[in-house]
A and B are shown apart, each in its own frame.
Chain A
Amino acid sequence: MPAEAALEARDISKTYGGRRALDRVGLRVERGEMVALIGPSGSGKSTLLRAVSGLVTVDAGPGRISVFGLTVQQDGRIAETVRQVRQRTGFIFQQFNLVGRLTLFSNVMIGALGRLPFWIGLFGAWPHEEKLKAMAALHRVGVSDYAGQRANTLSGGQQQRGAIARSLVQGAELLLADEPVASLDPVAARRVMDTLSSLNRDDGLTVVVTLHQVDYAMRYCRRIVALEAGRIVYDGPAKGLDRALLAKIYGPEFQEALFEEEDR
C-alpha cells in the first residue's frame, strides 16, 4: 500500500458546451514532488489544476479528485471537505488575484482565514503571532518592505510573490500554480520560479505548476506532464521529453514555446 498521495485525480472529464476540456484524465502526485503541467492553450491544464482546488466542478461520472486523502469532488459534486482541502492548498493565479485596495499585508493575512476562528477572520482581529507569521512569510519571498502598500500599487512580480506568501501563511502543504509567470517579465518570472523551486526543495512543499514556456518546465521541474486536447500525452522525467513529442503536442511552431526565453 503506497503512502497517501498529495494529489490524486482519477478518471475525470470536463465538458464545456460540447467541447471536452478534460477527457478521462488521471494524475497522481506524491508528496514533495515538483510537477509541471504543459500543453498549448486549451489543452486542459488550467482546468485540471482548478478542478483540484474545487474552483471548477468536473462532469458527473466515476471521476474523483482527492488531496491528502480528503475528497475535493466526486461524481460532479464539490465535497463538504473542500474547505479543509483549500486550507492546506495554496493556489497561485496568473493574475495574482490579490485584493487591490487592501495592503499587501492584509492580503497575506487573508491566508489565515481558514485556520482561525470564524469571527476573528471576519473582523480581521488578527492575533499578534499571526501577524508575525505573515511578516515572516513576506520576508521569505522577499517583499516584506512593501507590506504596508496597497497591492495594486505593486509590480506584477511583487504581487505574485505576495500571493505565494499568502499560501505560506495558510500553512499550505500543496501549491497549485496556474500560469504563475505568464503575466511577468523574464526577470520577475525567474524570481517567482526560483521561489517556488526553493519552497519545494527547502521547505518540502509539493508544487504543481502549469507553464506556457516549456524551457521553464524543463529547467525547474523533474517531472513533466503534457496535455493535449484534454488528454495526458506524456508523463515522465523532463529529460524524456524530446523534440518530436513537443512538435506533436504544440504543432510545428513549438520552437517558439521552447525557445521563447532565448529569443529575447
Chain B
Amino acid sequence: MSDAVVIPPPPTRPLAQRATDVVVWGGIIVLLLISFGHVDIARVPLLFANSANMRQFGQSFLRPDWTDLATYVSQMWLTLQIALWGTALAVLIAIPLGLAAARNVTPVWIQQPIRRMLDVLRSVPDLVLGTMFIVAVGLGPLAGVLALALNTGGVLGKLFSEAVESIDPKPVEGVRATGAAPLQEVVWGVLPQVAPLWTSYALYRFESNSRSATVLGLIGAGGIGQVLFESISGFQYERTAAIVIVIVVAVSIIDLLSQAMRQRLL
C-alpha cells in the first residue's frame, strides 16, 4: 500500500539558536582565558609547594589561644551593640523614607526623587561610609554605627517601600471612608498590613549587620574586628583562631535567634 506512515524526523534546533550558543559560551571562555594571567591562576601550585607554611598556619589554628577570652567576648559584645544601634537608627531612617518612596502612598514627584536617594545610600559600600565617618567623628564605634545606619537605611527604605506597594488597598479605603486624616490612613490602614514584613526585614538586616560590623572593625571602627586585624597583622595565629571562633559562635547565635523570630512572624 502506498499510504505508509510517514514519521517526521526529530526536531533540529534552528541555526540562529545554535550560533547564539556558540557566541555566548565562546565569549565566556575567551573572557576566562584573558583573565587567567591577570589573576595569577598560574601560581596555584604554590598552594602545595608551600605546604609547610600552610601546615604551620593550620597548626596554630588548631591551638587557639584563649588567654584574652574576656577581651574577645567584650569586644564581640561591642560589635553586636554597633550592629544593634546601626540597625535601629536605620529603621528610624527607613520608616519615613520607605513610606515616602511608595507609589501608592506618596505622589510621584516626591516618590521618585526619594527612590533615587535610597539607591545612592544603598550603593555606597559601608566600608566607604565608615572611612568617611572616621574622618568626621574619629576612630571608634560611633563611626561604625553611623556607617551601618546610612547603608542599611537605604536598603531597608527600598524594602519597606516595596512592602507598602504590595498592600491591599481596600482596608485603607475603609479607613479613609470614616473621615480619617491622611497620616491616620497610613497608621491604621497601611502599617498593620506591612508590620510583619517590615519586622522580618529589620531582623534580617540585623543578622547581616552583625557580620558587617565585624568587618568595619578592620578599618578602625572598634569592636572585635579591630582586635582581629591587630592579631592577624602581628602573625598571632593562635589568638586569631580564638577570635574567629568567638565571631562564628556569636554570629551563628544571632542568626538562629533572628531566624526563629522571623519564622514566628510570617
A residues near B (Cβ < 8 Å) are 53, 55, 83-91, 93, 95-102, 110-111, 113-114, 118, 121-122, 124, 163, 166-167, 170
Q: Is the CB of A118 within 8 A of B174?
A: no
| Chain A residue nearest to B183 in the complex (CB) | A122
Q: Is the CB of A55 within 8 A of B176?
A: yes
Decide: A118 near B178, CB < 8 A? Known: A55-B173, A97-B173, A98-B171.
no
In the assembly, what is the distance between CA of A166 and CA of B170, in Å?
15
> Shortest distance in angstroms between A7's beta carbon and chain B's nearest beta carbon?
15
Interface 9-mer from B8-16, B46-54, B188-196? B188-196
Return the contact of B188 from the options A89, A110, A167, A170 (Cβ within 8 A): A110
| Chain A residue nearest to B169 in the complex (CB) | A97
> Shortest distance in angstroms between B22's beta carbon and chain A's nearest beta carbon?
48
In the assembly, what is the distance between CA of A53 and CA of B178, in Å?
10
Q: Is the CB of B176 within 8 A of A166?
A: no
Decide: A87 near B178, CB < 8 A? Known: A98-B171, A99-B193, A101-B193.
yes
Kindly identify, within residues 107 to 125 of chain B, every residue whose CB is under 8 Å from any CB belonging to chain A.
none
Q: Is the CB of A113 within 8 A of B179?
A: yes
Decide: A170 near B173, CB < 8 A? Known: A122-B184, A122-B187.
no
Q: Is the CB of A86 within 8 A of B179?
A: yes
Q: Is the CB of B175 within 8 A of A110?
A: yes
Return the contact of B180 from the options A55, A88, A98, A110 (Cβ within 8 A): A110
The winner among B177, B180, B195, B196 for most chain A CB atoms within 10 A is B177
| Chain B residue nearest to A91 in the complex (CB) | B177
Q: Is the CB of A114 within 8 A of B192?
A: no
Q: Is the CB of A97 within 8 A of B174?
A: yes
In the assembly, what is the distance between CA of A61 and CA of B189, in Å?
33
Q: Is the CB of A166 within 8 A of B178?
A: yes
Q: Is the CB of B171 within 8 A of A100?
A: yes
Q: Is the CB of B176 within 8 A of A99?
A: no
Q: Is the CB of B189 within 8 A of A99?
A: yes
Return the contact of A53 from the options B177, B192, B196 (Cβ within 8 A): B177
Return the contact of B179 from the options A87, A100, A101 (Cβ within 8 A): A87
B187: chain A residues within 8 A (beta carbon): 122
In the assembly, what is the distance between CA of A60 and CA of B176, in Å?
23
Decide: A114 near B178, CB < 8 A? Known: A99-B192, A101-B195, A122-B183.
yes
Q: Is the CB of B184 within 8 A of A55?
A: no
Decide: A91 near B192, CB < 8 A? Known: A110-B180, A113-B184, A122-B183.
no
B188: chain A residues within 8 A (beta carbon): 99, 102, 110, 113, 124
Q: Is the CB of B184 within 8 A of A91?
A: no
Q: Is the CB of A83 within 8 A of B170?
A: no
In the assembly, what is the distance between CA of A256 and CA of B178, in Å?
35
Decide: A83 near B175, CB < 8 A? Known: A95-B170, A113-B188, A118-B184.
no
| Chain A residue nearest to B188 in the complex (CB) | A110
Q: Is the CB of A121 within 8 A of B180?
A: yes
In the assembly, what is the distance between CA of A88 and CA of B177, in Å?
10
| Chain B residue nearest to A178 in the complex (CB) | B177
Return the contact of A98 from the options B174, B179, B184 (Cβ within 8 A): B174
The winner among A53, A55, A87, A121 for most chain B CB atoms within 10 A is A121
Decide: A86 near B184, CB < 8 A? Known: A97-B171, A99-B189, A101-B195.
no
The winner among B179, B180, B193 for most chain A CB atoms within 10 A is B179
> Shortest distance in angstroms between A41's beta carbon and chain B's nearest beta carbon?
18
Contact mask B193-216 → A, CB, 8 Å, 1/0? 101100000000000000000000
